[in-house]
Amino acid sequence: MTIIDHSTRRLATFIALTLGAGLTIGYLNVPGRWYAALNKPSFNPPDWIFAPVWIALFVLIGIVGWRTWERAPASAAMILWFVQLSLNFLWSPVFFSLNRIGTALVIVVAMFATITAFIVLQWSKDRASAVLFIPYAAWVGFATVLTSAIFRLNPMR
């Protein structure tokens, strides 16, 4: 077996685990009646958009995790990658299952900050990984604004 084969397996593993865990968390924490009853801002996207966007993003997140692992598995960048993913996987249960909008807002702000820190850190070390995280940062930035608006529109929830 060659090094390329090991690396390719690690790439497939990063994508499969990231995508699989993300989809599982989404499946276990679906928007329900509580979410449907919330006041939402006019810019709230239709529900159908979330799954395809997150599938694409989880693939990118997996690729970036693999690239970072291959270059520096014990680095600050790898720690940031794991932190952002942990925050990502925490958001849905807190928001959709525990119905804690304020706590979810804190989580998404921390996630956005961590993603941004990863991009800044990797910009000079692994530009491709930094660039691959830009759509993710944009979506999480939007999610931060959306969560904030939902929090403001539903002060008693």
- Predicted local confidence at residue 25, as pLDDT: 96
- Residue-wise pLDDT tens digits, 84-127: 999 999 999 999 999 999 999 999 999 999 999 999 999 999 99
- Predicted local confidence at residue 3, as pLDDT: 63
- Predicted local confidence at residue 125, as pLDDT: 96
Label residue 2 by pLDDT band (50, 70, 90).
low
- Residue-wise pLDDT tens digits, 14-60: 999 999 999 999 999 999 999 999 999 999 999 999 999 999 999 99
Residue 74 DSSP SS3: coil
Please answer whether residues 103 and 94 qualify as being in contact, where contact means their C-beta atoms are separated by less than 8 angstroms: yes
- Predicted local confidence at residue 1, as pLDDT: 55
Please answer whether residues 57 and 135 qualify as being in contact, where contact means their C-beta atoms are separated by less than 8 angstroms: yes
Q: Tell me the DSSP string of 78-113.
A: HHHHHHHHHHHHHHHIIIIIT--HHHHHHHHHHHHH
* Mean pLDDT on 68-73: 96
CA pair distance 147, 106, nearest whole angstrom: 10
CA pair distance 35, 37, nearest whole angstrom: 5
- At residue 133, does pLDDT exceed 80? yes
- Predicted local confidence at residue 157, as pLDDT: 65
Residue with tokens 């691959």: 132
Burial 59-68 (b: 16+ CB within 10 A, else e): bbbbbbbbbb
- Predicted local confidence at residue 89, as pLDDT: 97
Label residue 78 by pLDDT band (50, 70, 90).
very high
DSSP code of 99?
A: -
Map out the domains of the chain with their CATH numbers. Answer: 3-153 (1.20.1260.100)
Calculate the CA dihedral of residues 41, 46, 47, 50 and round it to 10 degrees.
Answer: -100
